[in-house]
Amino acid sequence: MNQVSPLDGNADVAVIMTCYNEGDYIGEAVRSVLDQSIAQVITEIVIADDGSEAETIEILKIVEGWDPRIRIIYGKGGRGLPAQRNLAISYTTASFVAILDGDDIWASTKLEMQMAAIDAEPGTGLVYSDFFVFPERDVSSARRAGVRDISQAADLKLTYFLNDPPIIPSTILIRRTDYLACGKFDDTVRVFEDTDFFLRMAGGCRFALVNEPLIYKRNRGASITGGRKDLMAHHAFVAFKAAATDPRLMSLVPRRLAERARKLGNQRFLVGDIDGAVALLSLSLKLYPLNYRTWLAYVGARFFPTLSFRALGRSGRARRAALGGSRT
């Protein structure tokens, strides 16, 4: 099949967004789409609302009138994020699809840089980027997340399974043909549905990276994963689901889960939840005891928490602020 090139003059992009009670943020998110440096390639902007309350609906009705490309799907609620993304994409026809969550913000060159990247590498079905993280409304505390480049991996699926960059949905641009080929988002996966989707995508196409932060990701306690205590259970579900269809991954599930626990433990430490950090880092060591970084983090959190945080210096304070914690 001949693939459409983003730079051939005929390529088009559909932007799909989801919203659930994000009226305080959705306008800024949509403006960041309309302000793209190559906004002319955007032919459709579809926002799927999952039963928001009246205040958000009023804002969506205003946003709907900003541009003729904008279409709002007003849902009754309860469908969940993966189903809403699939629904929004089903209302579009463009060759490329870009996702933006209703509380995130694109940099103005996001699409321009990603269209060039996906065109430069034949066989690329997904391009992602680095991103900034900031707490709620304080964009001044934004901190570059830092992502791994796995685009040149010989076995992309295996590499993603063990070394999640991470990739977040608001950073991606995907080919519609590859989205359809991998089976879309699985609406039975209600948490980490993006990880499940990327694992399946990695089995069928190449990824590319723009190693620049092209979005601002808002860290909110009210987000799907914010403050949840059962995240490791959801990580395990996704990992075993992937391994069930690719037996090569089964023996590597503990190692993947150990890395998820390590990262969650580090986050809990940064926001001051020392007990939570120690529990997660201890779990990580039980799953995979050969990671020296986990041992260092565990010993620091368990025995020298104050000294360990001070040792992180300015970087640690910036990371804590980006997660919504105090700078002190």
Q: Which of 225, 283, 217, 292 is nearest to 256 (CA)?
A: 283
Full pLDDT tens readout for the chain, 328 residues: 456 565 566 689 999 999 999 999 999 999 999 999 999 999 999 999 999 999 999 999 999 999 999 999 999 999 999 999 999 999 999 999 999 999 999 999 999 999 999 989 878 999 999 999 998 878 888 999 999 999 999 999 999 999 999 999 999 999 999 999 999 999 999 899 999 999 999 999 999 999 999 999 998 764 544 557 899 999 999 999 999 999 999 999 999 999 999 999 999 999 899 999 999 999 999 999 999 999 999 999 999 999 998 888 777 666 666 666 555 5
257 in the same domain as 125: no
291 in the same domain as 156: no
Name residues whose C-beta falls within 8 Å of residue 183's C-beta, 6 or more positions apart in sequence: 200
Picking from 167, 193, 219, the residue at the C-terminal end of a domain is 219
The per-residue pLDDT for 229 is 80
Name residues whose C-beta falls within 8 Å of residue 263's C-beta, 6 or more positions apart in sequence: none
- Number of domains, the chain: 2
Name residues whose C-beta falls within 8 Å of residue 216's C-beta, 6 or more positions apart in sequence: 104, 105, 106, 107, 131, 132, 133, 134, 139, 142
Report the predicted TM-score, pTM, of the whole model to 2 decimal places. Answer: 0.90
Q: Which of 175, 163, 89, 90 is nearest to 127 (CA)?
A: 175
167 in the same domain as 308: no
Answer yes or no: is 206 within a domain: yes
Query: What's 28's domain CATH number?
Result: 3.90.550.10
The per-residue pLDDT for 309 is 87
Picking from 184, 219, 254, the residue at the C-terminal end of a domain is 219
> Angle at CA 232, nearest 5°, toward 229 and 233?
95
- Domain residue limits at 261: 231-322
Pairing of strands 70-74, 96-101: unpaired
Task: Report the chain's mean pLDDT, rounded to a whole number.
Answer: 92
Answer yes or no: is 265 within a domain: yes
Q: Which of 69, 110, 63 is nearest to 91 (CA)?
A: 69
